[in-house]
Amino acid sequence: MSSIILTDIRKSFYQGNKKTEVLCGASMEFQKGLWYTVYGASGSGKTTLLNITGGIDKPDSGKVLDGNLAGNEDIYKKSDFQLSGWRNNKIGFVFQFFHLLSELSVEKNILLPLELKRRELNEGWYARIVEILDIGDLLKRCPATLSGGEMQRTALARAVINRPDFILADEATGNLDSDNSRNVVNLLNDLKVNAGVGIIYVTHESNIYDEYDEKILLENGKLIKILGE
C-alpha cells in the first residue's frame, strides 16, 4: 500500500523580520485509496501543507516520506530531477489559482502531464473526463478567455488525466456552482473507488461533502483527525 507520511512538519515564512509560523508539528499518514478532507480557516496553512506534501515546497524541519513496499523514502532527500519525476508520476495537483499555461489551449493544458511523461493518451478516459466536467466546448480556447469555474474544471482535468496515486485538491470546488461542484466531487470519488487514488481535499468550508474517509482539522499549525462523525 502506498502512502505519503508527514512527520512533525514545521514551516515558517518571513516578511522582513516578522516570522509567521504556519505549520508547527503537523503529522499525518495519507494512504492511497482514501479521501482526506482537510479543513481550516483562510490563512491556516492549507496551501502550504499541500505544497509540502506534494514535493513543491521543502519544510523547515520534519519529513515527507513516500511509503511503499520498498520502505519509506524522504522525498526531499531526492535530487531536484528525481523529485520532479516523483511528482509527475505520483501527484496530480489542482491548484487554488489553477496555474494554467496561458500560451497553450485548454486541451494542450490538460494533456501536458502526459507529454511530460511521454505517456499514451487513454482516449476513453479523456472522453469521460471531458464529459463529466462538461468542458468539450472549451478545448480549443485559451485559458485567459475562461471563467473562473471553467478554469477550475480545466485544472481538474489536467490533474486527473494520468491517474496519479494522489490528487491534491486546493479548494477544488471554490469557484463552481452546485451542479459542477457535485460533478467534481463525483469524479474524485470515482477515482478513489475505481482507481485507488488517494484524495487530499483542502477547503476553508466546514460544511463539506460527505465523501471523505477521514476528516481533518488544520488549526494552530497542526493536523487533528476528527473522529466519530
Ligand X SMILES: Nc1ncnc2c1ncn2[C@@H]1O[C@H](COP(=O)(O)OP(=O)(O)OP(=O)(O)O)[C@@H](O)[C@H]1O
Q: Which residues bind ligand X (CB under 6 A)?
A: 13, 15, 20, 22, 40, 42-48, 96, 204
Q: Please identify, using beta-carbon distances, which residue of 128 and 204 lies nearer to Mg ion.
A: 204
Tell how strand 91-94 and strand 166-170 pair up: parallel
Among the residue ranges 42-50, 183-191, 206-214, 215-223, the one whose residues contact Mg ion (CB under 5 A): 42-50
20 touches, from Mg ion, ligand X, none (C-beta below 5 to 8 Å by class): ligand X
Residue 14: what are its φ and ψ, rounded to 5°?
-115, 135
- Laid out side by side, the sheet with 91-94 consists of 91-94, 166-170, 198-203, 35-39, 214-219, 222-226
Using the minimum distance from each CB to Mg ion, give the nearer residue, 96 or 175: 96
- Stretch of 20-28, 92-100, 108-116, 153-161 lying at the interface with Mg ion (CB under 5 A): 92-100
In the complex, residue closest to Mg ion by CB: 47
Q: Which residues contact 121 (CB under 8 A, 6 or more apart)?
A: 111, 114
**All residues at 6 or more sequence positions from 24 whose CB lies less than 8 Å from its CB, including other chains:** 10, 220, 221, 222
Taking the least distance from each CB to ligand X, the nearer of 46 and 153 is: 46
Whose Cβ is closer to Mg ion: residue 129's or residue 202's? 202
| C-alpha cell of residue 211 | 465523501
Considering CB distances under 5 to 8 angstroms, the limit depending on partner class, which of Mg ion, ligand X, none binds residue 175? none
DSSP 67-97: EETTEEEEGGGS-HHHHHHHHHHHEEEE-TT
Contact 55, 86 (CB under 8 A): yes
Q: Which is nearer to ligand X, 112 or 217 (CB)?
A: 217
Residue 48: contacted member of Mg ion, ligand X, none (CB under 5 to 8 Å, by partner type)? ligand X
Given the C-alpha cell 496561458, which residue does it identify? 102
Question: At closest approach, how far in Å is the CB of 96 from Mg ion?
Answer: 5
Least distance to ligand X from the beta carbon of 54, Å? Answer: 13
User: Which of residues 3, 44, 47, 173 is near Mg ion by CB under 5 A?
Assistant: 47
Residue 3 found at the interface with Mg ion (CB under 5 A): no
Catalog residues that contact Mg ion under the rule CB under 5 A.
46-47, 96
